[in-house]
A and B are shown apart, each in its own frame.
Chain A
Amino acid sequence: MEIFEADVAIVGGGGAGLRAAIAVAEKDPTLKIALVSKVYPMRSHTVAAEGGSAGVVQSHDSLDHHFNDTVTGGDWLCEQDVVEYFVANCTREMVQLEHWGCPWSRKDDGHINVRAFGGMKIERTWFAADKTGFHMLHTLFQTSIKYPSIKRFDEFFCCDLIVEDGRCQGVLAIQISTGKFVLIKAKAVVIATGGAGRVFRQSTNGGIVTGDGMALAYRHGVPLRDMEFVQYHPTAMPGTGLLFTEACRGEGGILVNKDGYRYLQDYGLGPPDPWPRKKAMELGPRDRLSQAFWHEDRKGRTVSTPQGSAVLLDLRHLGEKKIRERLPLICELAERFMNIDPVHQPIPVRPAIHYTMGGILVNGKTESPLPGLYAVGECSSVGIHGANRLGSNSLAELCVFGKLAGDEAADFARTAQLSASSTLEKLAEAASQRALEPMKRENGTERISILRKEMALAMERGCGIYRIGSEMQETCDKLDELKLRYQRVTVDDKSSVWNTDWLQAIELGFQLDVAQAMAYSALNRKESRGAHQRLDGYEERDDVNFLKHTLATYTPDDGPAISYSDVKITKSQPAVRAYGAAGEQAEGKEASHV
């Protein structure tokens, strides 16, 4: 088996992974960095993010406002000290990206332009047309080329962590083009593998978002935190689930039901005018908007399309110039995929899974409980999103915590010593045998695509926008069954070169583990908070019993063990989570108390 020795290994070449790699390279150019990604970095799903990245710039804005918006948006499940660190560092990171060439959209005077975004009181979302993630990712990737200490392992599929002596000491990866294993020894490992939206049926996510890193850390005893909180983005394309950015609404777009009525005013987000208005109506938080869709659907007020029910995203009143200039990607998507010109017609949209708030448990310094293992980005739960993420906080997270993870991993690597190579090699050998199992199996009876579809359907039913205990239990039972059937999955392709059949089997294993963590966590949270809403007697938020994080810990041959941990509260005591007019009233009361 080929062996490579690095100081820091980073799994995942998206925004977070690249930012971490650059941070290590800048902190100490003598450290050897292995950047391992199962796709070329510019294919990472960061590329599909559209709307923008948050950073306080305006003089009438403040870190406190960003902090409060974030904690309120997270329904008080955020680690508030971490949120304080986050908001204090967003702007610096956005400026750093700008210095590295990111083509941020500008005001006429040449300064950065910011726009309004869901759940945010004041405009602070930096944007690059409607392709912010694309531009950030390409800027980071191209900038990373400057640093000779970053060695990239492009199209290497990470299939296990090497854990010895109570520490993470590297990763085992498969070179996709040859099918050969390579052991990458590393004194510190940073996981930046993204979310797990693909365990659901309809999502905005690309095919690669299968929760790989989450499952790897999970299987080695690191708890996954707050997995029940998955975000439904309110405006996705029916059928494919492709994303129509929140920026459509930030620019003034409206959502109407089949009667042309702006229905959000019926769900505590009104009044509808004046429009646009922050934290109200279509600029409310994503969980509320998706929940409103669910209700409209039940009432029969949605539009019917061949791909399912939908509501209408109407941009016509913005005018052709603004639409083509600010939302060109949206125009492309609507025209090409749906034959709809947004300048003249409204676009049918419906919620689809978009983001995984939960993830690998890490502290405010991105350290997991396993020494030497760090996690950053969507795969992690560092504590800033809580029960619901605000748009444009995720892209900022990649940079703020990417840098932190890189710095921390670099410091750890400088003083760590690897165990004897023969020991690590033995572990790698054993891990490679486990990875080969699905392919070597002679008498498999299950098909990957069938198991995957059953999993996705079960998750859609049990872990939807609204949840019911009996349905969640069914989903948990189904996933238990699927995990057993997975032991007999067949891989038809026995070749070495680009065997995607085999890799899909490994990914399915990851997805089933992550799905189980999500479903079990959801079943056990007997309250409604943020993106986890129940209809079975637990419709209210329960701060007495559930102002806590859920921890899902792997137990072999069984579902995860569920436990709870406290939430760090500093400046913001849990209050009523209100938007629209009610929100303004609540803020008014707050201000008068100061």
Chain B
Amino acid sequence: MSDMQHDARRPYVRPMTGWWRKNPYFVCYMLREGTALVVAAYAMVLLTGLLCLATSEAAFNGWLAVLRHPFSIALHLLALAAMVYHTWSWFDIMPKTMPPVYAGGKRVPRHVITRAGIVTAIVVTLLILLLTWSLT
């Protein structure tokens, strides 16, 4: 009588190492997630500025001087690129995270929701730019 416990199966489990490098979709995903770190870092920068403002004029000027340094400008440009990607990828995934939206009896397609979000982001950005420009 054959042993019921043992059979010839030997399932092979493939390792997950380097999984995100193997598919462009995952690379984009990891970049997306990575931009959250950039957002957090920039929040720290702004928070530092706030603290400096609360301390003294000299401290605040010191903070501004650091920000004007070419190296800092370069980092800020990279951060801006990351933020743009962050914003775009946010609205790209947004339709998948929402319950279905109906307008005029028909279901609003995914790309319409994404585009609406991006357009809103651009408009709001422009408004804020205009606002800050008018104050200086």
- Please tell me whether chains A and B touch each other in their complex, using a CB distance cut-off of 8 A: yes
Chain B, residues 1-25, CB within 8 Å of chain A (1/0): the string is 1101001110000000000000000
Residues of B within 8 A of A179 (CB): 7-8
Bound-state CA distance A83–B7 (Å) is 49
Counting contact residues on chain B (CB < 8 A from A), the size range is: under 10
User: What separation, in Å, do the CA atoms of A531 and B9 have in the docked complex?
Assistant: 47
B4 touches A178 (CB 8 A): no
Query: Is A178's CB under 8 angstroms from B9's CB?
Result: yes
User: When the two chains form their complex, are residues B9 and A497 in contact, meaning their CB atoms are under 8 A apart?
Assistant: yes
CB distance from B3 to the nearest CB of A (A): 10
A177 at the interface (CB under 8 A from B): yes
Residues in chain B near residue A2, CB distance under 8 A: 4
Tell me the minimal C-beta distance from B5 to chain A in angstroms.
Answer: 11
Report Cα–Cα, A495/B2, bound state, in Å: 17
Interface check A180, CB cutoff 8 A: yes
Are the C-beta atoms of B2 and A1 separated by less than 8 Å? yes
Per-residue CB contact flags for chain A residues 539-570 toward chain B (1 = under 8 Å, else 0) read 00000000000000000000000000000000
A496 close to chain B: CB less than 8 A:
yes
Q: Compute how far the CA of A179 lies from the CA of B7 in the bound complex, rounded to whole angstroms.
A: 9
A495 to B8, CA, bound (A): 9
Q: How far is the CA of A177 from the CA of B9 in the complex (A)?
A: 7
Contact A496 B2 (CB under 8 A): no
Q: Are A497 and B8 in contact (CB under 8 A)?
A: yes
Chain A residues near B2 (CB-CB < 8 A):
1, 180
**What per-residue 1/0 map shows which CB atoms of A478-514 lie under 8 Å from chain B?**
0000000000000000011100000000000000000
Report the separation of the CA atoms of residues A177 and B8 in the bound assembly, to the nearest whole angstrom.
Answer: 9
> In chain A, residues 164-182, which have Cβ atoms closer than 8 Å to a Cβ of chain B?
177-180
Task: Output the nearest chain A residue to B1 by Cβ-Cβ distance.
Answer: A1
B11 CB to nearest chain A CB (Å):
9
Q: Which residues of B contact A178 (CB under 8 A)?
A: 7-9
Asked whether B7 lies within 8 Å of A496 as measured between CB atoms, the reply is yes
Q: Closest approach, in angstroms, between the C-beta of A562 and any C-beta of chain B?
A: 43
A414, B74: Cα distance in complex, Å: 83
Q: Mark A148-191, 1 if CB is under 8 A from B, else 0.
A: 00000000000000000000000000000111100000000000
**For A1, what are the chain B residues with a Cβ–Cβ distance below 8 Å?**
1-2
CB of B47, distance to nearest CB on chain A (Å):
53
CB distance from B4 to the nearest CB of A (A): 5
Residues 70 to 104 of chain A near chain B (Cβ within 8 Å):
none
Min distance, Cβ B36 to any Cβ of chain A, angstroms: 38
Least CB distance from B17 to A in Å reads: 26
Residues of chain A within 8 A of B9, CB atoms compared: 177-178, 497
How far is B1's CA from A2's CA once the two chains are assembled, in angstroms? 9
CA gap between A487 and B8 in the complex, in Å: 28
In the complex, A496→B7 CA distance in Å? 9
- Chain B's closest residue to A495 (CB) is B8
Contacts of A177 in B (CB 8 A): 7, 9
Min distance, Cβ B38 to any Cβ of chain A, angstroms: 41
A495 contact set on B, CB distance < 8 A? 8
Is the pair A496, B8 in contact by a Cβ cutoff of 8 Å?
yes
B76, chain A: closest CB distance, angstroms: 48
Task: Give Cα distance in the complex from A496 to B6, angstroms.
Answer: 12
List B residues 67-87 near A (Cβ within 8 Å).
none
CB neighbours of B1 from chain A (8 A): 1
Interface bits B30-60 vs A (CB < 8 Å: 1, else 0): 0000000000000000000000000000000
Task: Please give, as numbers and ranges, the residues of chain A lying within 8 Å of B4 by CB-CB distance.
Answer: 2
Q: In the complex the two chains form, what is the Cα distance from A409 to B40 in whole Å? A: 67
A82 to B42, CA, bound (A): 78
- Look across to chain A and name the residue whose beta carbon is closest to the beta carbon of B4: A2
Per-residue B-contact encoding for A176-210, CB less than 8 Å = 1, 0 else = 01111000000000000000000000000000000
CA of A177 to CA of B1, assembled, Å: 19
Q: Shortest CB–CB separation between residue B16 and chain A, in angstroms?
A: 24
Residue of B1, B2, B7 with highest tally of chain A CB at under 10 A? B7
14 further interface pairs, Cβ-Cβ under 8 Å (given A180-B2, A497-B8) = A1-B2, A2-B4, A177-B7, A177-B9, A178-B7, A178-B8, A178-B9, A179-B7, A179-B8, A180-B7, A495-B8, A496-B7, A496-B8, A497-B7
Q: Can you list 14 pairs linking A and B with CB atoms under 8 Å apart?
A: A1-B1, A1-B2, A2-B4, A177-B7, A178-B8, A179-B7, A179-B8, A180-B2, A180-B7, A495-B8, A496-B7, A496-B8, A497-B7, A497-B9
Interface on A for B, CB 8 Å cutoff?
A: 1-2, 177-180, 495-497
Q: Which 3 A-B pairs have the closest CB atoms?
A: A178-B7, A496-B8, A497-B8
